A and B are shown apart, each in its own frame.
Chain A
């Protein structure tokens, strides 16, 4: 285990792979995740949660607790502190008070030294409720069943977009094709469950957490204790996967935790077990997208009327922003005329939905891709042939009437996928055979970074890169390594600029008392936005490389020129640059059992320039397989407000046996304002595979597929219809 890290990328292209900096520590089991860390006098906490979806909370009867055990609730919030979490929206409570809005809402914390005793004590807590009539589905939320949960109409957010003149289209004599596309909940299923430890040290509340966004957490909890944000220190522990599930949701754990630490003044750990983690954490938003599309006599699309609704659950959190991205993604890679899009994020009494890789785009793109494939079927055309007529081009117009600035390489990418997958020949052959086999295809893009001017107006990222007297370099950013490889790729960027070996560049897990705020680890922004700042800071450092002593270089975000955005009207360039993708999936459907065997998976992506080929392909493989799980296996149902599936025995994520290897290809398309030409990619690679899979099965069974997961039950149902 003494092989040195490969530094070939210093002489060759930056994408030349290196051994990841964290690989040996993790693979040898030496890396300490939060549950592995030792703290003196550590106490454990169990969340006491609502068992009712919607109710008045009448009374919590806590038994007499043994010495050293505590029950923490809203009564323990200090004077001046607020019982609310300062997340993207401030509506989520730290502890439920008068009412509960969903099963699993935090009511209190039981804290003490022995986890078995805590389990026994939990059973003795008696909570009395007066049940209210809940609303679980988008329709029930819109119908304000049981009275409003939020505002007067349960609408967390509603937006309307218009491109061209959609009003003129639907009064004419065009053929109208209607469609309704549904997607369900999805569980992140990061392998390391949620966990953190809170301590009181030197007058500060220190939270060591498995998380994506240390600065978000600091902001979310400071107001609970009525302290300054600087009095909260968030230190990221090695994080065993996140996928958006550790973007905001950890704040919901950190809130009660800091109250416990405030009262007890001892270190307190909350680590969820898997049952808690699946049952009681946020999920991907379910969606319902309706289309009315006008087709002229030449079989051309002349307009679309689109209505998107997403299920936000009991609190808003970031649902409005997820909705925005779903809307901005619902024409995907197509430049279509005369578009109207209405979007609504709806309050219900399910567990609040939140960030998950793609952040609304997977829902918008799945809906778009399936609807486009339904139009192709209605017009008796092949999907790829039909869809490519509408590919957006450089200078083309988005649904926010912004412009595509970059070169669009979709035609070149399509050629590659057609060739690698054998799409045309196979589909011709399979159609001729009448066999239940087919190749499906999907097209997608994903805007990198925050929407519109969010990077400039809200995030205002700052990074620092320092060189010590021994000419060792350290990168200070608030973005985390959570599996995606950012620690390694950020170090590669600095090393390449400075022309020094990777071993001389360091990147520690962020701690808010040490690193500047370069923003959250979200929105495919870490490399494209923060990596660019690291590149600039390294260039600055290079100029002072021979100065005496230690040298610091700081850089602040600057918006690329030519980006126009109105954050009130949502008009203009929603994103500065896009990643682009095509995915083809070949399936064989068993005529008797309706079981689907995936025979091949082929992708081509344009992510600008890869900073590390191996890391990029690892992201592609992982994103595609996670999306194929979403599209085929991962059924997560709600019954009376509770998730029916809550273990890995019934919530099925892909194993080694479910899908063959993903064949992943890239086209280079350097982005001027990304480091070494890189664009965002972590979410893009999730966005399209579910639609490619569904389109393949759709072709194989010759029925329109309108929902995921496409499992044997759904296929049987379609066959009978």
Chain B
């Protein structure tokens, strides 16, 4: 066990954890952040996506040892911001949400993309979401959702 200090959703967090334990388990089990889903546990599906120092990562393959000193953002830290609300409502309005299990990860993937590239084209969106699996939608409406978030976000000046 080790004291691990990091910034979680903008606030300092200290947890006692085995450095080899998974960030996913600390977020879900220790801290109760259940917007982070476990879909595969091996970094293939993206349901557990979070931002680590602004980069999209699969929290199921991030060891706690590497989190010390890092900044972690989960959907809980994003959903009530203008940036998060914009993506969430764009997915909702585009029909991009079906069973919803992949959706939190898809929101994080969209956030990571739009921060880097606020006006992505379809191919760029598809590449940005390619690490996140969805079995319900066939992805069309997710791609449209990101496009809508981009358009609305530009109007609202979210990325300025």
Contact = CB atoms under 8 A, between A and B. Distances in A.
Contacts of B101: 33, 190-192, 240-241
Interface in B14-28: 28
A685 to B, nearest CB: 10
Contacts of A648: 40, 42, 44-45, 133
Given A190-B99, A617-B141, A649-B42, A27 B135 contact: no
A27 B92 contact: yes
Nearest to B108: A29
Interface string B85-98: 10111011111111
A621 B138 contact: yes
A656 B85 CA distance: 23
A648 B35 CA distance: 21
Contact of B98 (A36, A188, A485, A656): A485
A274 B42 contact: yes
Contacts of A24: 88-89, 92
B112 to A, nearest CB: 14
Interface string B104-131: 1001000000000000001001110111
Interface in A624-662: 624-626, 647-649, 653-657, 659, 661-662
Interface stretch (A14-22, A226-234, A430-438, A667-675): A14-22
A420 interface: no
A512 B126 CA distance: 41
Nearest to B144: A661
A32 interface: yes
A355 interface: no
B136 interface: yes
Contact of B92 (A19, A273, A620, A655): A19
Contacts of A654: 138-139
Nearest to A621: B138
A241 B136 contact: yes
A273 B89 contact: no
Contacts of B130: 655-657
Contacts of A428: none
Contact of B138 (A482, A614, A625): A625
B105 to A, nearest CB: 9
A615 B37 contact: no
A189 B103 CA distance: 15
Interface of B is mostly: loop
A410 to B, nearest CB: 24
Contacts of B75: 28-29
B95 A27 contact: no
Nearest to B131: A655
Interface of A is mostly: loop
A194 to B, nearest CB: 12
B99 A482 contact: yes
A26 B103 contact: yes
B111 to A, nearest CB: 12
A30 interface: yes
Given A28-B88, A29-B75, A624-B138, A23 B41 contact: no
B63 interface: no
B79 A26 contact: no
Contacts of A656: 125-127, 129-130, 132, 139, 142-143
A16 to B, nearest CB: 13
A604 interface: no
Given A240-B99, A240-B101, A655-B130, A27 B47 contact: no
B140 interface: yes
A13 interface: no
Nearest to A1: B85
Contacts of A485: 98
Q: Which of B102, B122, B125, B136 has the most chain A CB atoms inside 10 A of its CB?
A: B136
Given A27-B104, A28-B79, A29-B35, A191 B133 contact: yes
A30 B100 CA distance: 10
Interface string A183-221: 000001111110000000000000000000000000000
A30 B97 contact: no
A657 B126 contact: yes
A659 B143 CA distance: 12
B135 A241 contact: yes
A577 interface: no
A483 interface: yes
Q: Which of A33, A35, A188, A648 has the most chain B CB atoms inside 10 A of its CB?
A: A648
Contacts of A26: 97, 99-100, 103
Given A191-B133, A621-B138, A1 B89 contact: yes
A618 B137 contact: yes
B71 interface: no
Contacts of B93: 3, 19
B39 interface: yes
A647 B133 CA distance: 13
Contacts of B79: 28-30
A223 interface: no
B39 A27 contact: no
A188 B133 CA distance: 13
B153 to A, nearest CB: 14
Nearest to A685: B138
Contacts of A22: 97, 100
A591 B126 CA distance: 26
Contacts of A614: 94-95, 141
A274 B41 CA distance: 7
13 contacts: A1-B85, A26-B100, A28-B35, A189-B133, A191-B134, A273-B41, A274-B41, A482-B99, A483-B98, A618-B138, A622-B138, A656-B139, A662-B138
- Top-7 shortest CB links A-B: A29-B35, A26-B100, A483-B99, A240-B101, A625-B138, A621-B138, A23-B92
